[in-house]
Amino acid sequence: MSESRAQRRHSFVPLNDEAPSARPMPDHRATSDRHLVKQSSMMITSPATWDRWWTRWISILRYHTPDQLLGRLRKELRQRIAPGRVRRDVSGATWCSQHLPWSAGAEETTLEADREELVALARGRLRLLNRTEPVGKPIAWRNLSRRWLPPLWTFHLHYHDYLARWVRVVGSEPIIHDAVDSWLDVYADGGKGSRGTDPIAWHPYVISRRAFSWGMILAAGSVGSARTDRMTRSLASQIDWLSRHLERDIGGNHLWMNAAALALAGTLFSGPTANHWWHRGCSLLNAEIDLQLNDAGEHFERSPMYQLELAGYLEELASWADHRDPTQADAWRQTAKRMREFIEPLRHPDGVVCLFGDSTLDQPGMQSAGRSSGHHSGWMGNYYVHRDEQDLLVFDAGDMAADHLPAHAHADLLSFEMSLAGDRLFVDRGVFSYTGPARAEYRSSGSHNVLMLDRQDLADTWSSFRMGRRGHVVSRQSIRTQEGLWIVACHDAYAHRGIPIVERFWFLVDDGPWFCFDVMKSDDRRSHQAASRLWLAEGRRLQADGGRYRLIGPSSMAYWTPIVGPTVVTIHETTRSNHFYRTEPCLAISMVKEFSGLASLGWMVSKRPIESEPKIALVDGTWQISWAGVDGMCVARLPDRFSSLGHWGNQ
């Protein structure tokens, strides 16, 4: 199963070019380091053919729930036949300002940064999601909604959470009040007259987020009685609209926030209508909590960023609800605590949370000032987390997301992130935007630490938030032997390619090297291509040393080598995105091989120099790993029946 280093070759061809075997490949030992790097976008595209079109819609009908389908039908009929009207006066909802908890929430910001942003807004420019745009003086809300701006940026514009943050950190400023007044001047009646509303400013999710922002602004107590009256009347109209346009066609974090906003309104207002909002919001929110969180406290959309965001809003809602129902408020606090506790093991030693799914570091709590350490090894929901002080492996062995809601899922089955000696080593590529070619590229399998077969993604992701054909995790297990820890999981994403199961094995040696290898077996005699991708953390440099590589980090060094051949190794110079609309240069490693029948592809990483070439071989029908240890050659054998494919037989 293993070949000599002289047999290995570098490829200078990105995976989205012609097959590596179609070009001559010079011996890597005669190649200087500066020639090891290839510029590449590394995007793998799939044409939208007719068969792909109908399979996508079959997937929508197959995976979406009846509530979602009926919700979408009602939404379309309402928009076409009888669009809802904005009620300016909502009877039965009276503002009760005596219950405003000004101290709710916590900010991760600096006074200087917020003052700079306020000065910029006074000059007609606003920075959101790391992107500065001209917005006018006063803010030209309607024109900005019509301009070609990223929808995510425009949504954040109308959340008004930046206004609430400025009030809490800087204090009440005229520019903040002017921004609210200018918004009310345009959108107090919905923004489009008596029929219909502005689709962004009055989007149900936007209203849900803005309700919390306005609550904080009003809690400051310095907006004046006239402005308070305008804001509270508009807020009541928005909540009334929201109650008639709940996002049941989407569900997930959107419906969660809709319910939270209704419950919030039940604490901000009094009267029979406010009581109705409170009871309906509580009932819906508690039902969604039960549906969307598993026993471990993991949110079913499987995005650490959104999980922390939902936990934050739940904590804020609990602060508002203390005066109305302390028992319910405490229950929400406990749920938020459970959600945050689930995220903690997914934190690298430097405090950065793994960027699985749609996750960036823009959300408060995604990176901490302290360092994480300790010892832990076991399953956490759908993740296997192995932490040994400053070494960390987080192996994502769950499905990409809930099948009926893959909006924030990526094609990343069996991906992982890793730190060694306190420095992040292998990481997810992150998220750049929610629209355009970058959205497709960052969601593709090529942007994750996964195995791809025949240049096909693990899922057919399309239209920014949709997903057609997809794979699922079939099984996962772990076992500790005398030699070390074995972890395995498998998926069926390539069954349509004649490869029913793909397995990813981990073997972790205590205070020794870590091994990762993928095994696949085709049912036909066709030739297939296997490609494994590894994304290095920003700041990591790479040096080649024969068939081995030194991965140089900020304060440590790791040693990496492929262990199964014949393998073509390619080094890509590319970018990743820890933050929306911002990129950082990084390197990525690709391994490619052609195979038919049974094949494997893998690598080894160590904190110590690799003295001799590690090997993987089939011995008596099971996998055996050998490597040079501190005290000589070491051998580890995969436990019997520790595989979904059964007895392998000898190659």
Per domain, the residue ranges of the chain are: 5-53+375-609, 104-244, 250-346
Contact between 238 and 210 under an 8 Å Cβ cutoff? The reply is yes
* Coil, strand or helix at 506: strand
Contact between 588 and 614 under an 8 Å Cβ cutoff? The reply is no
Contact between 572 and 37 under an 8 Å Cβ cutoff? The reply is yes
Q: What is the pLDDT of residue 67?
A: 86
Q: Bridge partners of 549?
A: 544, 560
**pLDDT tens, residue by residue, 90-120:** 877 888 865 566 544 444 455 677 788 888 9
| 167, two tokens | 């009030």
CATH architecture of 5-53+375-609: Distorted Sandwich (2.70)
**pLDDT tens, residue by residue, 155-212:** 999 999 999 999 888 877 889 999 999 999 998 877 664 445 788 999 999 999 999 9
* Cβ atoms within 10 Å, residue 369: 6
Q: Which of 3-12, 81-90, 218-227, 321-330 has the lowest mean pLDDT?
A: 3-12
Exposed/middle/buried for residue 226 (C-beta within 10 Å: 0-12, 13-18, 19+)? exposed
**pLDDT tens, residue by residue, 600-627:** 999 999 999 988 889 888 887 788 899 9
Provide mean pLDDT across the span 302-323.
96
**pLDDT tens, residue by residue, 393-418:** 999 999 999 999 999 999 999 999 99
Q: What is the pLDDT of residue 2?
A: 36
| 480, two tokens | 């500790």
What does the alpha-carbon distance between residue 314 and residue 21 come to, in Å, rounded to a whole number?
54
- Asked if pLDDT for residue 77 goes beyond 90, the answer is no
- Asked if pLDDT for residue 46 goes beyond 60, the answer is no
The pTM score is 0.89
Q: What is the pLDDT of residue 546?
A: 79
* Cβ atoms within 10 Å, residue 63: 16
Of 520, 544, 540, 504, residue with least CA distance to 596? 520
Q: What is the pLDDT of residue 98?
A: 58
What does the alpha-carbon distance between residue 550 and residue 540 come to, in Å, rounded to a whole number?
10
Q: What is the pLDDT of residue 209?
A: 98
Question: How does residue 87 score in pLDDT terms, banded at 50, 70 and 90?
Answer: confident
Of 594, 641, 563, residue with least CA distance to 453? 594
- Asked if pLDDT for residue 40 goes beyond 50, the answer is no
For residue 61, which phi and psi values (nearest 5 degrees)? -70, -35
Mean pLDDT of the chain: 85
Q: What is the pLDDT of residue 604?
A: 96
Q: Which residue reads 């950190």 in tokens?
A: 169
- Asked if pLDDT for residue 256 goes beyond 90, the answer is yes
| Residue type at 23 in one-letter notation | R
